[in-house]
Structure 1
């Protein structure tokens, strides 16, 4: 049996006036709903994402888009996964994102994207981010 990798995390929006927030959430929903589903997605797919839509029901000021999936040894293709994730980030409104990668052989890693200005909008083109990664642990029993 091949080693399993678990990837999970969240993409955070930023607070603002209600009309602006609704517009950002609508754009983000459209982008996430356009992702491939079923067998069509090798790394990033619609089924792995979820978010709260209604104020008071898991949504206070900032919307959190959460995601997670299990893969067969994704660390060997991690650069491709990150490339697809960053392509998704380019199309979304967000303030920060975090991805946790748990591997059986190489321990746990945390990757963080923080926008330089505190937010990213899709029409801005290139990502302006700082990406840092942290590594925990080693061989798991």
Structure 2
């Protein structure tokens, strides 16, 4: 049990917008996504998902070519035991953003490395979409145990 208490999990990845549309349409999507991320706040009693872990990166006019890439990362203590809740929070965020695909890497000391991918069926997702159509794949090294 002592090892579990000191077990570190690293979560990192990216959410990517799609490059289609004119400059104004891309800028509006980028601004919307930045606002949504600014509204994030770690919830009382569950601080594993907060705005501090997300970086919006460049915005149009700051060297950004076309596609907004939102990066994120955090270090946790054995987050794999709360993984279903973390994924639930992540998918709730995805529902509010413009994006084309997202990837999450989970590296754990006890259960190896895992990669989760979300892609929309249409090639893009808008906040107006009522359903999230996702394809999740995962790759792993070692066995993952969920509780």
Match for residue 98 of structure 2? Answer: 93
Is the CA contact 2:30–2:59 (under 8 Å) kept in the aligned structure 1?
no
Runs of at least 4 residues of structure 1 off by over 6 A?
A: none
Matched, 1:35 2:50: no
The separation in 1 between residues aligned to 2:141 and 2:53, in whole angstroms, is 24
Instruction: Give the TM-score, by structure 1 length.
Output: 0.90
List alignment gaps of at least 5 residues for structure 1: none
Please state whether the residue corresponding to 1:123 is helix, strand or coil. coil
User: What's the RMSD between the two structures over aligned residues?
Assistant: 1.9
Match for residue 13 of structure 1? Answer: 17
Matched, 1:78 2:83: yes
Q: Structure 1 residue 26: deviation in Å?
A: 1.0
The separation in 2 between residues aligned to 1:25 and 1:41, in whole angstroms, is 27
Is the CA contact 1:11–1:98 (under 8 Å) kept in the aligned structure 2?
yes
List alignment gaps of at least 5 residues for structure 2: none
Match for residue 135 of structure 2? Answer: 130
Please state whether the residue corresponding to 2:137 is helix, strand or coil. strand
The separation in 2 between residues aligned to 1:8 and 1:116, in whole angstroms, is 23
Match for residue 111 of structure 1? Answer: 116
